[in-house]
Amino acid sequence: MKLKLMLWWLGVMLKRARSRKAAFRESLEKLQRFDWGVATEDLSIARHYRMSPQAVHSDTGLPVDLALELRFRDADSATRFLRKPSQRAFREGLFDGRLRLVGDSRDLERLQGLLKHL
């Protein structure tokens, strides 16, 4: 339940950043569109985010057309990671198997660039 709430709140924070922070909007303008999602490996908890300069939409599930997916081994791993996201945490999660990246690693860098504005 914690993870579901955290992912929902992340959607709220993204929408708030788009409406209030010019640097976030500028980053979105450069990307034009960025669709990504977060889920557990068994897909019991999943949420995706569709971001464009005009709006940020968030919904449950993982559609197949996402540019980037972050798949966590379990909800506890995801919760621990999302509390303190950093490049080091991404690297360690990838190496020890708690996190699996589905998509291009350049998209992960783009996502990190956007999330630093939150």
pTM, two decimals, is: 0.89
Q: Domain count of the chain?
A: 1
**Domain membership of residue 77 as a residue range:** 2-115
E strand or H helix at 81, and its extent?
Answer: helix 75-83
DSSP track, 2-67: HHHHHHHHHHHHHHHHHHH-HHHHHHHHHHS-EEEEEEETTSSSEEEEEE-SS-EEEEES--TT-S
What does the pLDDT average to over 25-49?
94
Domain with residue 22: its CATH number is 3.30.1050.10
Taking alpha carbons only, the member of 82, 89, 68, 63 closest to residue 13 is: 82
pLDDT of residue 72: 95
Alpha-carbon distance of 44 to 74, in angstroms, equals: 9
Cβ(72)–Cβ(81) under 8 Å?
yes
| pLDDT (tens digit per residue) in 58-111 | 999 999 999 999 999 999 989 988 888 777 888 888 899 899 999 988 888 888
